[in-house]
Amino acid sequence: MNRADLIVGLQWGDEGKGKIVDMMAQSYEVVARFAGGHNAGHTIVTGGRKYALHLIPSGILNPEAVNIIGNGVVVCPANLLKEMSQFDNLEGRLWLSDKAHLILPYHQLIDQAKERMRGDKAIGTTGRGIGPAYADKIARSGHRVGELNDVEALHEKVMEYLAQNRPIFAAMGVEIPDASEMKETLVRYRDGLLPFIADTTQMIWRELEAGRKVLLEGAQGTMLDIDHGTYPFVTSSNTVAGGACTGMGLSPKRIGEVTGIAKAYCTRVGNGPFPSEEFGPDGERLRVQGHEFGTTTGRPRRCGWFDAVAVRHACELNGCDRIALMKLDVLDGFEEIKICVGYRFEGRRIDYVPYDLEHVEPIYETFPGWEKVEGVRRYEDLPDSARAYIETIEEVSGVKVGLISTSPERDDTIVR
């Protein structure tokens, strides 16, 4: 049985999945995105040019690859069309599931209004409408991409929904779009997307049966999973490996090698627990050297040391076969580097991620730093201290570090 390989984030997102997907996609014939929305961003640097992708799979930079946006994704048509405009000749190379749910303009207004109403208890969403779209999906009041085939019927259903919820929208200060404006919007979405809409479940089955190499691409990270992350400070989808099955329509037996992506340090965006966060000058240095500002929002990311406890937890959840360790070069020049190897919780040491991650204290091991690894492409050329750091990560996480990124460039990657 031919299987689809999988790439998944092991931290709070922003691990550098885009570079690894881009690198691996050069040898895959199909690259598919299975969850999330345009709140995710993948930054890819190749040939000195930077690409920021939010919905389109990172395999789009391989001219031979077919790219699929799966049913588990929530799609903002306006943003997708804008993203598509960067590329030529997408027909036959990009496909959008007819079962993916639509993010409509009022979803974004609801998202932003709810965050305002939460005040200092805000989750820290991007305000892109992802949560409300997933909420409508689960409440069975959402609308799917395939409905764009009949704009008249879709328009009628959307206006009925808006009328039914008018009191709720009014209480949140959300203005309902008028009927003609909504109709024009839906027509524009239909005209731009119709050539790309397909039954991608059948498509990916056919591709696997034909023996083609398929790579599945996640969004965000394991610690933001709706079930297994730091709830409620999470995203609204299943970001773990199991989400690839539901988000693409694949049996678990169809999942092949799982590559977990982790930074050589740790970051998160928005609110919520972050045990290894560094509040002093080292945290600011990580932010500056790592250019840690959101691809989608530009928000500065919170920075801290590598949390091996959380990564071990994520590797078990995802069934990782190997870790791709990203941005090792960001640690260049630090005199000392730390790894969180355990937590202190309720007066005792633990080596697992508890329900209440808010009240754990990190237990660190400290390692000597190194001068420079930027651009190194062979493991044996890394400084001894860098190799010791990597091998400790392997020991604590229980998973081999198979890929090591030493700069944003595609070719500056050590393959072990």
Q: DSSP string spanning 325-391?
A: EE-GGGGTT-SEEEEEEEEEETTEEESS--S-GGG-EEEEEEEE--S--TT--SGGGS-HHHHHHHH
Could you tell me how many helices (H) and strands (E) the chain has, helices first? Answer: 12, 20
Q: Clarify whether residues 356 and 318 are in a common domain.
A: yes
Instruction: From 52, 58, 104, 40, select the one nearest 83 (Cα to Cα).
Output: 52
Cα–Cα dist 404/20, whole Å: 10
Tell me: do 167 and 288 sit in the same domain: no
Of 140, 160, 195, at which residue does a domain stop? 195
**Do residues 44 and 64 both lie within one domain?**
yes
Structure tokens that stand for 121 in this block: 């208890």
Determine, yes or no, domain membership for 95. no
Dihedrals φ, ψ of 324, to 5°?
-105, 115
96: Cα within 13 Å, side-chain hemisphere: 28
Phi/psi for 314 (5° steps) reads -65, -40
**Domain presence at residue 285:** yes
Cβ(32)–Cβ(70) below 8 Å? yes
Neighbours of 379 (CB within 10 A): 14
pLDDT at position 61 is 84
By annotation, the residues acting in catalysis are: 14, 42
Q: Using the 3D structure, point to which of 178, 195, 212 is the last residue of a domain.
A: 195
Do 362 and 395 lie in a common domain? Answer: yes
Residues forming beta bridges with residue 255, ordered by sequence position: 4
Evaluate whether residue 14 is within a structural domain. Answer: yes
Note whether residue 111 is domain-resident.
yes
Q: Does any domain span residue 91?
A: no
In a domain, residue 256? The reply is: yes
In this prediction, residue 112 carries a pLDDT of: 82
Question: Token match 């049996």: residue?
Answer: 251
Do 178 and 212 lie in one domain? The reply is no
Domain check: are 143 and 279 in the same one? no
What CATH number does residue 191 fall under? 1.10.300.10
| 115 and 239 both lie in a single domain | no
Number of Cβ atoms within 10 Å of the Cβ of 177: 18
**Do 273 and 328 have their domain in common?**
yes
Which of 259, 219, 244, 194 has the alpha carbon at shortest distance from 56? Answer: 219
- Rg for the chain, CA atoms, rounded: 21
Domains contained in the chain, number? 2
Would you list the DSSP string of 239-293?
-SHHHHHHHHT--GGGEEEEEEEEESSEEE-SSS--TTB--SHHHHHHHHHTT-B
Could you tell me if 265 and 273 are in contact, meaning their C-beta atoms sit under 8 angstroms apart?
A: no
Domain extent at residue 234 = 4-75+201-415
- Tally Cβ neighbours within 10 Å of residue 407: 19
Q: Are 366 and 336 in contact (CB under 8 A)?
A: yes
Residues 336 and 249 in one domain: yes
pLDDT of residue 269: 87
What are the contacts of 154-160 at 24+ separation with CB within 8 A?
154/186, 155/179, 155/182, 155/183, 155/186, 158/104, 158/182, 158/186
Query: Which CA distances in Å does 92 have to 1, 18, 30, 412?
Result: 26, 22, 12, 31
Single out the residue in 149, 167, 195 at which a domain terminates. Answer: 195
- Contact between 109 and 214 under an 8 Å Cβ cutoff? The reply is no
Q: Mean pLDDT in each 10-residue stretch from start to end of the chain (416 residues)? A: 95 88 89 90 70 86 92 96 89 96 91 75 73 93 97 96 88 85 96 97 97 93 95 93 97 97 94 94 95 77 96 97 97 96 95 93 96 96 97 94 93 93
Indicate whether 81 belongs to any domain. Answer: no
Tell me the torsion sign for CA atoms 308, 392, 367, 380: negative
Q: Does residue 358 lie within any of the structural domains?
A: yes
| Strand 214-217 to 306-307 pairing | unpaired
Shared-domain flag, residues 279 and 372: yes
Do 177 and 110 belong to one domain? Answer: yes
| CATH, residue 326 | 3.90.170.10
* Residues 138 and 38 placed together within one structural domain of the fold: no
